[in-house]
Structure 1
Amino acid sequence: MTPRPLACALALSLIAALAAPDADAQKRRGSKAKAKAPEISAECSDFYSAANADWLKTNTPPENSGSTSALEQLTTRARQQQVDLLNSSMSSPQGNVQKLLGDFWASGLDEAAVERDGAQPIAPLLTRINAIRRTKDIAPAIAALHQVGIPVAFNFGADVDLRDLDRHIGYFSQGGLGLPDPAFYTRTDPETRELLGQYNSYVQQILALTGTPKDQVAAQAQQVIDLETRIAQASRPLSELRDPRANYAQVPVAGLGKQYKRLQLDAFLKAQGVSDDSVSIANPELFAQLDTLVDRLKPEQWKTYLRWRVGDAMAPYLSKAWRDAHFAFRGRTLAGASEPAPRQQQVLDAINLAAGPMLGREYVGRYVPPAARARAEEVAKQVRDALAASIERDPRLGAQAKAEARAKLADLRIEVGAPRRDLDYTVQPMGRGSFGGNMLIASTWHHREEMKRIGRGNADRRWDVLPQQPALTYDLPHNRLIITAAMLQPPVLDTTQPPAAHYGSLGALVGHELSHAIDHRGRLVDSKGKVRDWWTPQDVAAWQQLGNRVVSQYGAHGYPELTGVNVNGTLTRDINIADLAGVEAAWAAYQTAQPDADTASKQAFYRAWAGLWPQQLSADVAAQRAASSAHTPGKWRTNGPLMNQPGFGEAFDCKAGTPMQLTAEQQVRLWP
């Protein structure tokens, strides 16, 4: 209603009289009062910049990568911890596993010894290959190379059985190619033809290093490419490999020997130590083709191919001539790297590849205090319970879906630090004389332990991440939360900070990951581990509506370091929803644990969340991520969820409508 002019004038006169006791004072202050706008604190304007001001001032993007962040620094710190552990294992090992690791490390750092060793580490393998005389000798040679961790002709590995998530089965899948995409062998565009020519030159270099006479190198390289082209023609496009369900087809082991007589897949399984009754072969046409190739191609061509595969696989761990050839093609041409990684990093990467679980075992013992592990488990359980309680307030899920979601969270397993099962560390002694030889010893051990995953009751035998690698993830097939040992340090868990900070950092990340148990991905596996969709069409529609609101809200945020570019709300939708869920669940857990928390403690919760995300990006890296990354930049990973949180507004006294506190109508809440 518009006030009448007279009433309005009287009201203004009264206000003026009360506000100004004398006319002179009014004149002295008038111009200043009119110019001054209501002040908004830094926290209520841009919490990310306010909370991370010191970090942002002291960190700039490194020249070689164009990006740095608090979590990248955590990864760097974890790598240095591994180096320190290996150095102490080299000088004063404590126990058999450290002795193995110390010798492995020392052999890799001794470049003079690696140079003297030359190609000696693979000599026994080449001798085994050169002993092939007849067609029937080819399949056993293939099996023997798989045993030492060098997959040839195809890939074979352990993974979850999609029909029974409580077990792992062996997967026969496509592989055996030296180029990353089967299409590279058949495309005719100029760029691909040029790449294939460079690949041919690389194959010639490796074959020459394995002992192929100079006048035969070109012809033998063409034999390799011919065989790989035949494999590629029977392989599926990479786009068809993205859906695990499309690459799963369980078949009985009985009969494989007759179906693939020349490949001898029954004997192959026995050589790998696998005695299960079924495997997956999703592309039987490929294996039929391989079976035919074993029969029709001359053994000499197979011998050339196998020598090449051994040389290519082991080149990074041999003398300089091998490493230079490998880097020139795989590092510079394929990966775009300008120079090889420092020697220390190369050796560390090799140890993580072949003996990662060994290093993880010792890392946990050295760097994870029991108190930190216990605190992480405590916070994770409280966030899980808070999430379960929040489901009752979920306006999107129906009664049936809510019941299934609660059941999944009730059965959730939380594993912190390292896998619950230890491995068998019985390994051939390594010594310090041969880095390449140690690589083969460790790879053989690793393959042996991987094969033990196959069978019922082995689904939780190991993680898909190593304890020494920072990771916090929800394992959907096994309904478990995994928090690695390397994650139990700042900025994720800082035991010197107040308890509230543990919820704001670790707790919010836990909530983020556990939301995947009940979101549009988690809906595909039920509480009993069965692969089925337990959402109704109404649940799906409600989730889509939520997603649309999140897409719209985040899509309005400008991308830091870029002008005129906004966050891709569609591309980042799932991560953003999980961030919202994580902060909400962690805040609920914290309020339950500390119902009488003071303002400073509440602020510590939100500052800990912000402390996860500070980053500095070059303009080039920012542009690349804006176009392709599913992760929102750090500024909006911090501010995005908090703008929607009434608790944040209360903690920092941010009024509705200020940048960091959306109005109630604008806020997106998962569990209002």
Structure 2
Amino acid sequence: MPNVRPLPLALAFGLAAVLSAPGADAARKKAAPAPVVSPACTDFHDQANADWLKANPVPQVGAVTALGQLADNARNQQRQLLERAMSAPQGNVQKLLGDFWASGLDEAAVEADGSRPIAPLLGRINAIKKAKDIPASIAALHQVGIPVAFNFAPDVDLKALDRHIGYFMQGGMGLPDPAFYTRTDADTVALMGRYRAYVKQILALTGTPANKLDAESALVIQLETELARNAQPLAGINNPFNNYAPVSTKDLTGRYKNLQLDAFLKAQGVNDDLVSLSDPALFQQLNGLITRLPADQWKAYLRWRVGDAMAPYLSKAYRDAEFEFRGRVLRGQTIAPTRPEQVLEAINVAAGPMLGHEYAAAYVSRDALRQAGLMVDQIREAQIAAVKRSTWMSAEAKSEAEAKLAALKIEIGKPLRDLDYTVQPMGRGSFGGNMLIASTWRHAQEMKRIGKGNADRRWDVLPQQPALSYDLAQNRLIVTAAALQGPIFTDAAGVPGKFGAYGALVAHEISRAIDAKGALVDARGELRSWWTPADKSAWTLIGNRVAAQYGGYAFPGVKDAKVNGELTRDENMADISGVEIAWDAFTAAQPDAKPADRQAFFRAWASLWPQQLSPNEAVQRLTSEPRAPGRWRTNGPLANLPAFGAAFQCKPGQPMQRTEAEQIKVWR
């Protein structure tokens, strides 16, 4: 879930001088004053968020947003929880977390530790003698959460959505885009020069003699370039359907003998009969590289990957090298995070579910969980009612949509299915060592997802991260513990405020079950398109109107630029749906709501979206952000809703109340 520089409001009486026909007795006459449009009917985002915008000026870099502040608050809560766990742990999980936190904050101990935490991994790599030793080292590094040569991770079986299978996919490269290795433009050549220098720094720290650094860094980049040449572009690899190619695990050994993938699966604790391997040419190439490249080249590559993966968690020399390249060059950061920020990030990476388990218990009450669940049911009923009265959806589609909404699973706070927190003691001695212990545990938990009946283990977010999301594969709504706080869900907002913020976000996500993408999976969890051609055409026509509406809005902070209506189409449609359905649910729950309560509903929606963007951030978001700027996430949906105009006495044709002919209806 992931926001707006206020524009000055030009609200004044329009005075015009009207001259009579020429003549000696001509008199100047004043025109009648133009009617005043209230601020709420001109720009509700700025009017509702005036105090927030005044308190949060435009930053020099990055963005300041209300939901970003919620995430900051959640991080502060996590730090407070870890401090308490360090001094007075309640139970074994908190003892583990408290020791992990303490070991990370002890910078002197981390510095003294040097490369010791990864010494066993480096020792195994250095012991490689022949090609047949390489696959076992690859498997061992995957076990501790350091993927090398390729990626292997669980995901939903697209033909049996009640299970996860393991996906073999491209990976093992130190740069985020395979295209970097083969492009020859000046910027990419300069980037590769910086990358080579970083590789040399890490190799030096992991044991390469100075006189061999140039040669070994060249070997590392050569091996990664081999992987990149046969890799899919990022656009392709991010499409789950491109990655799905189920094969029997029994067939792997014969096809890729050198890689020893059967032994790899056993090392990960995977005993399933099926995996996905969508790019056999890539793995055939990898299979050949095992024997074609010298063992010393593989050893240099594996040492580099270990050092790079662990650099943020080791001594200062490692951390500085990693930040100078990955922080400054790739992520665009100008200031390194503080030590507590670094340690919190590390714990979330390696032991995020463990921290989430404790976070949900500490910061979400049973009453909040009960209220949040009840509201989801009210929103779902409102969406079902809207489907039944829809004028554009076919009878066949209505029937399937109702069934799918009725079957919707709901998980609020933390995953319903808990994890096994049996982890070897961490202690307060070695932060890098604790990182590997926790990472090994989390990898093992990931591998346990694989197999029949294990699909509901998966959350794509952590409970301590503010998020509401719809899981298409499992027809499931996820609401994290961190999302059940202001401005999303707060007792101070009362019932109207909860419906206007939390309810509208829930409705936004639930609408995903029955939109164009949701229509690809039916109520039984089977992959099939259940919309008729007429349904698809009707949805496209609505979407075209939405794209045109938002494409007419100025992009705040970028001169003469407009919002990209096509890029933001899907999110904008979900926003409009969300406000429509949440309003229906609210008026059903409180049919006699007072005028102030009706206004409070809309103010709560607006309170989600105030944002201030730096000039560079605004330019970047203009072309890449699939969500509209905060001003238009507030104003765009409300301008289509007659109930908003009635609540604030806005007249048709004013900026915040489109005429009836202009209004876009998704579910009303």
How much has 1:387 moved relative to structure 2?
0.4
Q: 2:41 matched to which residue of 1?
A: 44
Q: 1:27 matched to which residue of 2?
A: none
Superposed CA RMSD in Å reads 1.6
1:162 counterpart = 2:158: yes
Bigger shift: residues 282-291 or 349-358: 282-291
1:225 counterpart = 2:217: no
Runs of 4+ in structure 1 off by over 6 angstroms are: none
Task: Tell me, in whole angstroms, the C-alpha distance in 1 between the residues paired with 2:551 and 2:48.
Answer: 23
Q: 2:51 matched to which residue of 1?
A: 54
Bigger shift: residues 105-114 or 214-223: 214-223
How much has 1:389 moved relative to structure 2?
0.7
Amino acid at match of 2:519: R
Task: Tell me, in whole angstroms, the C-alpha distance in 2 between the residues paired with 1:185 and 1:623.
Answer: 27
Task: Tell me, in whole angstroms, the C-alpha distance in 1 between the residues paired with 2:494 and 2:541.
Answer: 38
How much has 1:534 moved relative to structure 2?
1.3
Assess if the C-alpha contact under 8 Å between 2:61 and 2:617 holds in 1: no
Deviations 1:622-651 (A, max 9, x none): 232223222111111111111111111222
Bigger shift: residues 387-396 or 626-635: 626-635
Task: Tell me, in whole angstroms, the C-alpha distance in 2 between the residues paired with 1:671 and 1:255.
Answer: 49
Q: 1:605 matched to which residue of 2?
A: 601
Task: Tell me, in whole angstroms, the C-alpha distance in 2 between the residues paired with 1:611 and 1:173.
Answer: 41
Deviations 1:88-119 (A, max 9, x none): 11111111111111111111111111100000
How much has 1:617 moved relative to structure 2?
2.0
Amino acid at match of 1:517: A
Structural mapping, 1:195-594, within 5 Å: 195-594=191-590
Q: 1:80 matched to which residue of 2?
A: 76
Deviations 1:541-566 (A, max 9, x none): 11111111112222222223344222
1:147 counterpart = 2:134: no
Task: Tell me, in whole angstroms, the C-alpha distance in 2 between the residues paired with 1:342 and 1:42.
Answer: 42
1:63 counterpart = 2:60: yes
Amino acid at match of 2:190: E
Task: Tell me, in whole angstroms, the C-alpha distance in 2 between the residues paired with 1:51 and 1:307.
Answer: 55
Task: Tell me, in whole angstroms, the C-alpha distance in 1 between the residues paired with 2:550 and 2:647.
Answer: 23
Structure 1 residue matching 2:64: 3-state secondary structure: strand
Q: 1:108 matched to which residue of 2?
A: 104
Equivalent of residue 130 in structure 1, options 126, 141, 144 = 126
Amino acid at match of 2:425: P
Distance 1:188 1:393, change over 3 A: same
Task: Tell me, in whole angstroms, the C-alpha distance in 1 between the residues paired with 2:624 and 2:261.
Answer: 41
Structure 2 residue matching 1:460: 3-state secondary structure: helix
Structure 2 residue matching 1:379: 3-state secondary structure: helix
Task: Tell me, in whole angstroms, the C-alpha distance in 2 between the residues paired with 1:183 and 1:55.
Answer: 42
Q: Tell which structure's C-alpha radius of gyration is larger.
A: 1
Task: Tell me, in whole angstroms, the C-alpha distance in 1 between the residues paired with 2:189 and 2:655.
Answer: 54
Bigger shift: residues 354-363 or 619-628: 619-628
Structure 2 residue matching 1:655: 3-state secondary structure: coil
Amino acid at match of 2:441: W
Q: 1:647 matched to which residue of 2?
A: 643
Task: Tell me, in whole angstroms, the C-alpha distance in 1 between the residues paired with 2:206 and 2:559.
Answer: 54
Normalising by structure 1, we get a TM-score of 0.93
Task: Tell me, in whole angstroms, the C-alpha distance in 2 between the residues paired with 1:188 and 1:361.
Answer: 47
Amino acid at match of 2:361: G
Structure 1 residue matching 2:487: 3-state secondary structure: coil
Task: Tell me, in whole angstroms, the C-alpha distance in 1 between the residues paired with 2:263 and 2:393.
Answer: 51
Bigger shift: residues 292-301 or 533-542: 292-301
How much has 1:64 moved relative to structure 2?
4.0
How much has 1:527 moved relative to structure 2?
1.0
How much has 1:571 moved relative to structure 2?
1.6
Amino acid at match of 1:388: I
Deviations 1:320-368 (A, max 9, x none): 1111111122222222222321111111111000000000000001100
Assess if the C-alpha contact under 8 Å between 2:110 and 2:314 holds in 1: yes
What is the aligned residue count? 641
Assess if the C-alpha contact under 8 Å between 2:61 and 2:616 holds in 1: no
Amino acid at match of 1:390: A
Task: Tell me, in whole angstroms, the C-alpha distance in 2 between the residues paired with 1:537 and 1:242.
Answer: 27
1:626 counterpart = 2:611: no
Bigger shift: residues 159-168 or 533-542: 533-542
Amino acid at match of 2:42: S
Q: 1:171 matched to which residue of 2?
A: 167
Q: 2:657 matched to which residue of 1?
A: 661
Amino acid at match of 2:52: W
Structure 1 residue matching 2:161: 3-state secondary structure: strand
How much has 1:652 moved relative to structure 2?
1.8
Assess if the C-alpha contact under 8 Å between 2:509 and 2:574 holds in 1: yes
Percent of pairs with identical residues: 61
Amino acid at match of 2:262: D
Task: Tell me, in whole angstroms, the C-alpha distance in 2 between the residues paired with 1:671 and 1:460.
Answer: 30
Distance 1:562 1:239, change over 3 A: closer
Task: Tell me, in whole angstroms, the C-alpha distance in 2 between the residues paired with 1:62 and 1:84.
Answer: 27
Assess if the C-alpha contact under 8 Å between 2:59 and 2:612 holds in 1: no
Task: Tell me, in whole angstroms, the C-alpha distance in 1 between the residues paired with 2:619 and 2:299.
Answer: 47
Structure 2 residue matching 1:482: 3-state secondary structure: strand
Task: Tell me, in whole angstroms, the C-alpha distance in 1 between the residues paired with 2:444 and 2:263.
Answer: 16
Assess if the C-alpha contact under 8 Å between 2:45 and 2:635 holds in 1: yes
Structure 1 residue matching 2:493: 3-state secondary structure: coil
Task: Tell me, in whole angstroms, the C-alpha distance in 2 between the residues paired with 1:159 and 1:314.
Answer: 25
Amino acid at match of 1:54: D
> Unaligned regions of 5+ residues in structure 2, if any?
1-28
Normalising by structure 2, we get a TM-score of 0.94
1:35 counterpart = 2:32: yes
Distance 1:63 1:91, change over 3 A: farther
Structure 2 residue matching 1:150: 3-state secondary structure: coil
Distance 1:577 1:137, change over 3 A: same
Structure 1 residue matching 2:288: 3-state secondary structure: helix
Amino acid at match of 1:280: S
Deviations 1:261-314 (A, max 9, x none): 111100110010000001000011111111111122222221121111111111
Task: Tell me, in whole angstroms, the C-alpha distance in 1 between the residues paired with 2:565 and 2:507.
Answer: 21
Structure 1 residue matching 2:368: 3-state secondary structure: helix
Task: Tell me, in whole angstroms, the C-alpha distance in 1 between the residues paired with 2:631 and 2:301.
Answer: 51
Distance 1:46 1:428, change over 3 A: same
Structure 1 residue matching 2:457: 3-state secondary structure: coil
How much has 1:148 moved relative to structure 2?
0.5
Task: Tell me, in whole angstroms, the C-alpha distance in 2 between the residues paired with 1:657 and 1:258.
Answer: 70
Distance 1:563 1:438, change over 3 A: same
How much has 1:386 moved relative to structure 2?
0.3
